[in-house]
Amino acid sequence: MKYSYNQNRTNVVFAHMKDVNASFKDLGAVCTAIRYRTVPNAMEILDDTIYRGRPILYRRHNAHMGSRTELGGRKGRYPKKCAQIIKKVLVNAAANATNKGFEPEAMFVVHAAANKTMIARRGPSKGAIFVSGGTYGYMTSRRSDLEFAKVEIGISAMDDKVLGQAALSKMKMFQKAAQKRPKPKAEAPKKEAPKRSLITKLPAKEQPKPAALPEKDATHTAAPAKAMPPAPAPAPEHKKPEHAPKEEHKAKEEKVDK
């Protein structure tokens, strides 16, 4: 892989990513923000941009861009997508340095660049037309091209004399600024809300507990049990009158006929 770093590359560890679907202008602004800084400080800047909404200064390509209070009134944006891409490349560069026997925590970002590589021409579909504003007739719609970019990052130690005095002075300046920067206060852990089931149950009403009975002394004798009343006698059964046999009824009927 050919890199655009023109200095001595003996002690420089590189990493790159090509064919990136992102704006090379935003990538270049993020690269400028982390150049000549330590690897931990560069990771902190990228994390703040991704998760905490830290703006990035735009020195170029900033026409009609709003100013930011965090940048002292200078123009900037929040390129979250590009910060995530450059963070991946920086992590790869730190891993390459570890494999070569270096300590990435004590190294600086000496090279960070983003360039446009390829343009995919995308024209309108056949027969697509639209009415142009203020003119007579129809015209073909405009093209919407897709641009790809390449990101390069190189890290090295500050003791290397080949980097030059200008680069070394910037490294020392950024290192002092990072040491003076106050560390953010640790946030108190947030209490998690209790998990609720889909079926909510109403809390049962609390009933008053019965009062506790006083304890009896050991010398206290138990009261004698009351005698149970005698059980009532069963009621006499009523016997049904026995009916005369059928022969007697027939004899009585014959006497009546006579």
Q: How confident is the model at residue 210 (pLDDT cuts 50, 70, 90)?
A: low
Question: Where is pLDDT greater, at 81 or 226?
Answer: 81
Q: Please check the confidence at residue 114 and state whether its pLDDT lies above 60.
A: yes
Residue 152 parent element (H or E): strand 146-156
What CA–CA distance (Å, rounded) separates 213 from 181?
Answer: 69
Burial zone of 57 (CB within 10 Å; 0-12 exposed, 13-18 middle, 19+ buried): middle
What CA–CA distance (Å, rounded) separates 186 from 65?
Answer: 34
What number of other Cβ atoms are within 10 A of residue 191's Cβ?
6
241's tokens = 């009158």
pLDDT score recorded for residue 6:
80
Sorted by where each begins, the domain ranges of the chain are 14-125+141-180
Q: What is the pLDDT of residues 47-72, one digit of tens each?
A: 999 999 999 999 989 999 999 999 99
Q: Provide the residue type at 66 as one letter.
A: G
Q: What is the pLDDT of residues 11-44, one digit of tens each?
A: 899 999 999 999 999 999 999 999 989 999 999 9
- Say if domain 14-125+141-180 classifies as CATH 3.90.470.10: yes
Q: How confident is the model at residue 252 (pLDDT cuts 50, 70, 90)?
A: low
pLDDT score recorded for residue 54:
93
103's tokens = 């300590």
- Rounded mean pLDDT of 87-93? 95
Q: What is the pLDDT of residues 136-163, one digit of tens each?
A: 555 555 677 889 999 999 999 876 555 6
Determine how β-strand 146-156 pairs with β-strand 108-120: antiparallel
